[in-house]
Amino acid sequence: MAGPKSFAPEPVFSSRPRRRFTLEQANKALPLVRRVVGDIVEARERATQLQAELEASTGKLHESVQAQLDGTIDRLHVYLDELTEIGCELKDFQIGLVDFIGRHQGREIYLCWKLGEEKIGYFHELNAGFAGRMPVSVLEEGE
């Protein structure tokens, strides 16, 4: 069984088409995204704590902790569904890393935001990941 540090819910895939954002649209969505991602990070931390408690518990305490963990995971899935409805993708549960599909020089890219950042300041190629982030000052959104 995996330890509590490896806890992460299964990825959530939407049947809805992926939404494409301009930088302006993504930044306007941030107040809501920030609240939802904050809830996700907190719920994930709580689920990790409960998983550790569950592994150390027995009897009635085990049942109680399991019920709390189940409820926390249910809430986590609700938050993930909310984020999916907005149209962005959670990339990291621990730090609250989120990508929005955008355009740069006629191709799809990710506009990249992390919990704690005031606004979207970076983007990266679809296959580049966080390490490949570039400043949005060089972003060319035109087709």
Q: Read off the pTM.
A: 0.82
* Assigned domain for 3 exists: no
* Assigned domain for 143 exists: no
Q: Count CB neighbours of 107 within 10 A.
A: 10
* Assigned domain for 61 exists: yes
* Assigned domain for 101 exists: yes
CA dist list (Å): 51 to 45, 58, 99? 10, 13, 28
Q: What domain range includes position 27?
A: 18-138
| Binned average pLDDT, 10 residues per bin, the chain of 143 residues | 48 59 97 97 96 91 93 96 94 93 94 96 92 92 70
* Assigned domain for 69 exists: yes
How confident is the model at residue 100, as a pLDDT? 96
